[in-house]
Amino acid sequence: MTTARSVEQLRDGTRDAAFVRLPLAEADDLDVIEIGRDPLTVALPATHRLARRRFMTPADLQGQRIVFWPREQGPGFYDWVVTHIYGGTLPDITRVEPDTEQMVRAVARRAGCAVTTRSRASLLSARGVVFKRFAPDVPAAPLGLAWRASDSSPPLRRLVAIARKLSAR
């Protein structure tokens, strides 16, 4: 589920807590803790000149055609990627796809390159696509647990306590 949809369900009360991509945009009514980080990776056509690289850098993506996802699915995380990978300037987005699977399919059709997280990439494979890690100095994407600030139910308090304990490690 997208971060935006999870936040919507938190606000309408159909969800008590949600795992989300951080940072959250306009979420003053929610409490959030960072629970981990997910390294970013790049999906490239296997024939791309960068496909032989061991590691990618943000500079490698300058001037490349990019397949991206809709900003409204998670504006905070979208902006975070634009800042940390593209230096705050929108890249040459050639296609917008609704999810990572569709983004990877577009990469296989040579529509461009796509940035995703290592956890998502590990679940996907597509003929003609290679995934390359970013260099170790590139920040990993923050993951969080979010819930309504006004909710103090005992099960939710226990979940948050467990999440805080695990994230402290």
Block means of pLDDT (10 residues each) for the chain, 169 residues, are 94 96 92 96 96 95 96 96 96 96 97 96 92 96 95 94 91
Q: Give the span between the Cα atoms of 141 and 77, in whole angstroms.
A: 8
* CA 51 – CA 73 distance, rounded (Å): 28
Tell me which DSSP letter residue 99 carries: S
How many residues does the structure list for the chain? Answer: 169
**3-state class of 145 per DSSP?**
strand
pLDDT at 150: 92
Question: What is this structure's pTM?
Answer: 0.91
Residue 11's pLDDT is 95
* pLDDT score for 125: 82
pLDDT at residue number 25: 86
